[in-house]
């Protein structure tokens, strides 16, 4: 059988490997059906699981090489921070944890393909999701010469058949295969679909959530958290400086304890299907809320008016597999130049599912109490408004006069 150990002569394929049943079965399928040597690549993006055990499992299943890449810093710097600058929420609610992981994994595959001399890359996505699009478009953007294999689109098999296939070949079938949900998670959030959630009328049962306490059971007293930003980058929590990863982990915990970050949406997939997904993303929700508020304090009205519509585009491009597009990269550079000013501290109140800004301050604040106040300290020149209003309203006044004249000319 072709699957009997590496021949050293066969072509290689780099498989995006998670350690789960699907991608484990694919190691064997690529060997048996495509006669390829498999290089497994798994990205550590802060998801739970024993990474060394996952690496070994790919080898045990027949891969000729297996790599686990700690990509958490790369994820933070090149994906999550630009997404935070864009306050990126797809369709106004999903912080895009799964969506942004895909182009990163594709990049790791492309790099591994170079190192291993592979002409092929493969992923375990089905033919009706967004992830297939993200993997393949990202791969094409990074190395258009690579060929892509999507076995799950070619080889339609039921869950039972897949388990049977695995058992026949001695591939361990995890007990979690009985989970009623399909889960994807990384440090920016957890995505959960399928099972009873497929009926949009069903309220998600508590077992659909893992990172968050239900708001009903959350503490009856609010938790306040102070988040300090420097140039758009969150750098400290409650006065303690820490790296981005540590800060995100802390906010996931604090937010989760207060029931913050639960999202239940009907969302539009790129392939035309409406789907129902449950997300948990406490840190992403808190950070975006705080960051957006600090922008309101530190950026000019014109900058905000220019920036907000671009934020939508970033969320869409992240969702739609266009992360590596020139437009997305250009918007990130645009944001980077504005973010220089986004320095300061935001105080957020976490309480029974809500994350609400309670206060904000900044050395770059454009808020001027003398201008804003209604009390004696007022320094605003009220008389200047008179001339301003005359000019501001001038076009409308001219238009109204013209309307009136033409109305007078009409014969009734
Ligand atoms: N709907 C989300 C997206 O397209 C998440 C997809 C993965 N979800 C899952 N539960 N396996 O980005």
- Going from the N-terminus, what domains does the chain have, and what CATH number goes with each? 12-74+95-181 (3.40.50.620), 188-299+341-361 (3.90.1260.10), 369-401 (1.20.5)
CA dist., res. 261 & res. 345, Å (int): 21
What's the pLDDT at 175? 67
Nearest of 192, 190, 217 to residue 282 by alpha carbon: 190
- Relative to beta strand 189-193, strand 120-122 is unpaired
Bridge partners of 189, per DSSP, are: 186
Other Cβ atoms closer than 10 A to 330: 11
CA dist., res. 400 & res. 391, Å (int): 15
pLDDT values of the chain reduced to their tens digit, one per residue, 412 residues:
343 445 557 999 999 999 999 999 999 999 999 999 999 999 999 999 999 999 999 999 999 999 999 999 999 999 999 999 999 999 999 999 999 999 999 999 999 999 999 999 999 999 999 999 999 999 999 999 999 999 999 887 888 899 999 999 999 887 666 688 999 999 999 999 999 999 999 999 999 999 999 999 999 999 999 999 999 999 999 999 999 999 999 999 999 999 999 999 999 999 999 999 999 999 999 999 999 999 999 999 999 999 999 999 999 999 999 999 999 999 999 999 999 999 999 999 999 999 999 999 999 999 999 999 999 999 999 999 999 999 999 999 999 999 999 998 776 6
Tell me if 100 CB under 6 Å of ligand 1.
no
Nearest of 148, 38, 100, 86 to residue 336 by alpha carbon: 86
Which regions of 89-167 does DSSP assign to beta strands (E)? 120-122, 147-149
What's the pLDDT at 4? 41
What's the pLDDT at 172? 86
Nearest residue by C-alpha to atom 1 in ligand 1: 277
SS3 141: helix
User: What is the token pair recorded at 229?
Assistant: 């930003």
Nearest residue by C-alpha to atom 8 in ligand 1: 191
Mutate which of 129, 267, 323 for ligand 1 pocket (most atoms within 8 A of beta carbon): 129
Which regions of 242-366 does DSSP assign to beta strands (E)? 262-268, 274-280, 344-351, 354-361
Letter string b/e over residues 127-156, b meaning 16 or more CB atoms within 10 A of that residue's CB: eebbbbbbbbbbbebbbeebebbbbbeeee
What's the pLDDT at 176? 65
Other Cβ atoms closer than 10 A to 202: 12
Spacing, Cα 96 to ligand 1 middle (Å): 9
SS3 149: strand
What's the pLDDT at 133? 98
Nearest residue by C-alpha to atom 2 in ligand 1: 98
Tell me if 93 CB under 6 Å of ligand 1.
no
Tell me if 182 CB under 6 Å of ligand 1.
yes
User: What is the token pair recorded at 322?
Assistant: 């266009």
Spacing, Cα 103 to ligand 1 middle (Å): 14
Tell me if 191 CB under 6 Å of ligand 1.
yes
Nearest residue by C-alpha to atom 12 in ligand 1: 99
pTM: 0.95
């Amino acid at each position: 059988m072709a699957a009997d150990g590496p021949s050293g002569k066969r072509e290689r394929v780099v498989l995006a490997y998670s350690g789960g049943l699907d991608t484990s079965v694919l190691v064997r399928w690529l060997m048996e059906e495509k006669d390829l040597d498999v290089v497994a690549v798994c990205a550590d993006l802060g998801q739970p699981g024993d990474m060394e055990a996952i690496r070994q499992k790919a080898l045990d299943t027949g891969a000729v090489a297996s790599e686990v890449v700690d990509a958490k810093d790369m994820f933070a710097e090149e994906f999550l921070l630009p997404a935070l600058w864009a306050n990126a929420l797809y369709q106004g609610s999903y912080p895009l944890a799964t969506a942004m992981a895909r182009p990163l994994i594709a990049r790791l595959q492309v790099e591994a393909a170079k190192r291993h001399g592979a002409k092929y890359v493969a992923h375990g996505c089905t033919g009706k999701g967004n992830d297939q699009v993200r993997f393949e478009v990202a791969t094409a953007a990074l190395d258009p010469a690579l060929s892509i294999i999507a076995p799950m689109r070619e080889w339609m098999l039921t869950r039972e058949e897949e388990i049977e296939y695995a058992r026949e070949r001695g591939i361990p079938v995890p007990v979690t295969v009985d989970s009623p949900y399909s889960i994807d998670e990384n440090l920016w959030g957890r995505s959960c679909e399928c099972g009873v959630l497929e009926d949009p009328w069903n309220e998600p049962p508590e077992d659909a959530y893992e990172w968050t306490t239900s708001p009903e059971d959350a503490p009856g007293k609010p938790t306040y958290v102070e988040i300090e930003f420097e140039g758009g980058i969150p750098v400290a929590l409650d006065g303690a400086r820490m790296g981005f990863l540590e800060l995100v982990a802390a906010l996931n915990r604090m937010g989760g304890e207060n029931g913050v970050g639960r999202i239940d949406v009907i969302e539009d997939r790129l392939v035309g299907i409406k789907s129902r997904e449950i997300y948990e993303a406490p840190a992403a929700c808190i950070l975006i809320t705080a960051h957006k508020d600090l922008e309101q304090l530190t950026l000019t009205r014109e900058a905000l008016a220019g920036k907000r519509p671009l934020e939508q585009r970033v969320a869409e491009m992240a969702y739609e597999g266009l992360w590596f597009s020139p437009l997305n990269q250009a918007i990130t550079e645009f944001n980077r130049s504005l973010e220089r000013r986004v320095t300061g501290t935001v105080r957020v109140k976490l309480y029974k599912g809500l994350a609400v800004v309670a206060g904000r301050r900044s050395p770059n604040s454009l808020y001027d109490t003398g201008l804003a106040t209604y009390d004696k300290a007022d320094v605003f020149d009220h008389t200047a408004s008179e001339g301003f209003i005359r000019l501001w309203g001038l076009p409308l006044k001219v238009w109204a006069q013209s309307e009136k004249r033409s109305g007078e000319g009409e014969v009734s």
